Amino acid sequence: MSEDFKLFRVERQDHVATITIDRADRRNALTPEMLVCLREIAESMRGDGVTRAVIIRGEGTDFSVGADIERMGGEAPPVAVMRRVAQNGALMIRAIREIHQPTICLVRGVATGGGACIASACDFRIGTPDARIGYGEAKLGINLMWHALPLAIQTVGLSRAKRMVMTGELFASDTMLDWGFLDEIAPDGEAEERAMQMAQYYAALPPVAVQMIKRSANAWAGALDQAVMHADADQWLLATRTEDFREAIVAFREKRPGNFTGD
Question: What confidence tens digit (pLDDT) does each residue in 18-59 have?
Answer: 999 999 999 999 999 999 999 999 999 999 999 999 999 999
> For the sheet containing 110-112, what is the strand order?
110-112, 132-134, 171-172
Q: Give the pLDDT band (50/70/90) at residue 73.
A: low
> Which of 58, 152, 149 shows the shortest CA–CA distance to 109?
58
- Residue 216: pLDDT band by 50, 70, 90 thresholds? very high
**Cα 59 from Cα 51, distance rounded (Å):** 21
Whether 92 has a pLDDT exceeding 70, the answer reads yes
- Tell me the domain boundaries of the chain: 3-187
149 contacts: CB under 8 Å, gap ≥ 6: 161, 165, 229, 232
Range in 14-18, 120-124, 175-179, 255-259 the model is least confident about: 255-259
Residue 144 has pLDDT above 60, yes or no: yes
Q: What angle do CA 211, 223, 182 make, to 5 degrees?
A: 60
**Mean pLDDT of all residues in the chain?**
94
Q: Indicate the residue type of 40.
A: E
| Mean pLDDT within 5-21 | 97
pLDDT level of residue 82 (50, 70, 90 thresholds): confident
β-pair type (16-21, 171-172): unpaired
Dump pLDDT digits (tens) for 147-197.
999 999 999 999 999 999 999 999 999 999 999 999 999 998 999 999 999
Q: What's the confidence (pLDDT) of residue 254? A: 92
Amino acid at 177: L
Q: What is the structure's pLDDT at 184?
A: 98
**pLDDT score recorded for residue 8:** 98
pLDDT of residue 86: 86
The pLDDT value recorded for residue 1 is 56
The answer on pLDDT for 74 being more than 70 is: no
Say whether pLDDT at 2 is over 80: no
Residue 213's pLDDT is 98
Burial of 72 (0-12, 13-18, 19+ CB in 10 A): middle
This prediction's pTM: 0.94
What's the whole-number mean pLDDT along residues 70-86? 77
* The CATH number, out of the four listed (3.90.226.10, 1.20.120.450, 3.40.50.10860, 3.40.50.360), of the domain defined by the range 3-187: 3.90.226.10
In whole angstroms, what is the distance from residue 38 CA to residue 92 CA? 7
The DSSP letter of residue 29 is P
> What is the percent of the chain with per-residue pLDDT over 70, rounded to a whole number?
98
Indicate whether 99 pLDDT > 80.
yes
